[in-house]
Amino acid sequence: MTKIQQIFHYGWDAYQSSFQPDDVQQKSAYSIMNCKTGKFGYNISSCSDCGYTDFHANSCRNRNCPNCQAVLKEIWIDKRRSEVIDTPYFHVVFTIPAELNPLVYANQRLLYSLLHRCSSETLLELTANPKYLGATPGIIQVLHTWGQELNFHPHIHCIVSGGGLTKSLNLKKCGSGFFIPARVLASKFQGKFLTYLQEYYHSSKLCFSDSCKHLQNSYQWAEFRDSLYQKTWVPNIKETFNGFGNAIEYLGRYTHRIAITNSRIVQVNESTVTFTAKDYKNGGTKNVTLSNKEFIRRLMMHVLPFGFQKIRYYGFLNNRSKKSNLNIIFRIQGHQRFQSMLTGLPMDEVLKKVWNYDVHICPVCGCSGMRHTGRTFAMLE
């Protein structure tokens, strides 16, 4: 049993008795609690030399499970590597004021999508301006909803290419420094988000939970909206990449990251869990201790709505025209720098190529005779 499973073992019943998890949260919790326990069946392998038989408990493959992201992350990185072009790359993070959090949580699907929309529109409109780039870059966006202490903190990570296609289908590059001032990004993003939010309010698209029910009053809404205009919205422009190939490896840290991993959990007992978190005030890390029930409550806040796409692609990487755009760019550059290594490979070859782990080596006799012989979906006694 992993540390995260221990927390659910001790705290899930107490959490359920106090809160009302929806179907997606219920499914995620069930997946986490039963991952690699046999509840999802077994794959069976046998050695043709010594006859040893191994039963491997299946993982749940739920995107919220900390045990199931490593292989998915490597496959995603490999696919994206072949889409990297020869330009600088930049990391931009768009956040919203904490005062919006109750409203966002009450309207997750609608306002998470709005975060994606405003981030991409801000970047695409500004990069289209010749003052900054005068071309359409490639953008990959990833939604995260958590802070280091599992608090609710929705934000968008963007990897932006420092070059793109002009309207005449030429390739244009920027210099090594980020090409849009932070204050310009902030102003554009703030204006877009609050304009769309006002439209949603007028068209009655917003839901109001108890924590933000007062905003249903038009006067209180106007006061709330105006206060958000008065705030300074500061996007975080993080490091740039000296080698453009590093951009995808870097983004891989974010795409399949979940709110917390087993490695950050220091201790679990019947009543509490202690985990590490970055200490932004003093630097370094600190320990945070919560009840198991509170830990699960915070974790369940970050289960996304069913089918919600947390990773999205824009600019010359938009799904509709990505292939043709990349063909044009690689033809201009005279080469495609990176090639996919894992596409089409069976899982045993992926494991061997990425981690040098050979599933065909028998743990008993050491020969390479282990072969998959079947699967069962029944629990073993």
The answer to whether residue 27 sits within a structural domain is no
The answer to whether residue 246 sits within a structural domain is yes
pLDDT band, very low/low/confident/very high, at 378 (cuts 50, 70, 90): low
Q: Is 227 exposed, middle or buried (0-12, 13-18, 19+ CB in 10 A)?
A: exposed
CA geometry: angle at 306 spanning 302 and 310, to 5°? 60
Q: Give the pLDDT confidence of 246-304 residue by residue, as tens digits.
A: 776 777 777 778 889 889 999 999 999 999 999 888 888 999 999 999 999 999 999 99
Whole-number Å distance between alpha carbons of 93 and 105? 19
Q: Give the pLDDT confidence of 159-178 residue by residue, as tens digits.
A: 999 999 999 999 998 877 78
Which pLDDT score, from 0 to 100, does residue 134 have?
Answer: 94
Q: What is the mean pLDDT of the chain?
A: 91
pLDDT band, very low/low/confident/very high, at 320 (cuts 50, 70, 90): very high
Which pLDDT score, from 0 to 100, does residue 253 have?
Answer: 72
The answer to whether residue 44 sits within a structural domain is no
pLDDT at position 243 over 60? no
The answer to whether residue 252 sits within a structural domain is yes
pLDDT band, very low/low/confident/very high, at 99 (cuts 50, 70, 90): very high
Which pLDDT score, from 0 to 100, does residue 241 have?
Answer: 66
Q: Give the pLDDT confidence of 7-33 residue by residue, as tens digits.
A: 999 999 999 999 999 999 999 999 999
Helix (H, G, I), strand (E, B) or coil at 36: coil
Which whole-number Å values give the CA distances from 370 to 40, 51, 251, 375, in the listed order? Answer: 22, 9, 35, 14
Whole-number Å distance between alpha carbons of 174 and 184? 17
The answer to whether residue 93 sits within a structural domain is yes
Total domain count, the chain: 1
pLDDT band, very low/low/confident/very high, at 308 (cuts 50, 70, 90): very high
Which pLDDT score, from 0 to 100, does residue 239 have?
Answer: 65
The answer to whether residue 312 sits within a structural domain is yes
Q: Give the pLDDT confidence of 173-211 residue by residue, as tens digits.
A: 887 778 899 999 999 999 999 999 999 999 999 999 999
Which whole-number Å values give the CA distances from 114 to 117, 160, 180, 189, 194, in the listed order? Answer: 5, 19, 22, 11, 10
The answer to whether residue 289 sits within a structural domain is no
Whole-number Å distance between alpha carbons of 276 and 267? 10
The answer to whether residue 376 sits within a structural domain is no
Domain that holds residue 97: 84-259+302-333
Q: Per-residue pLDDT averaged across 323-344, rounded? A: 86
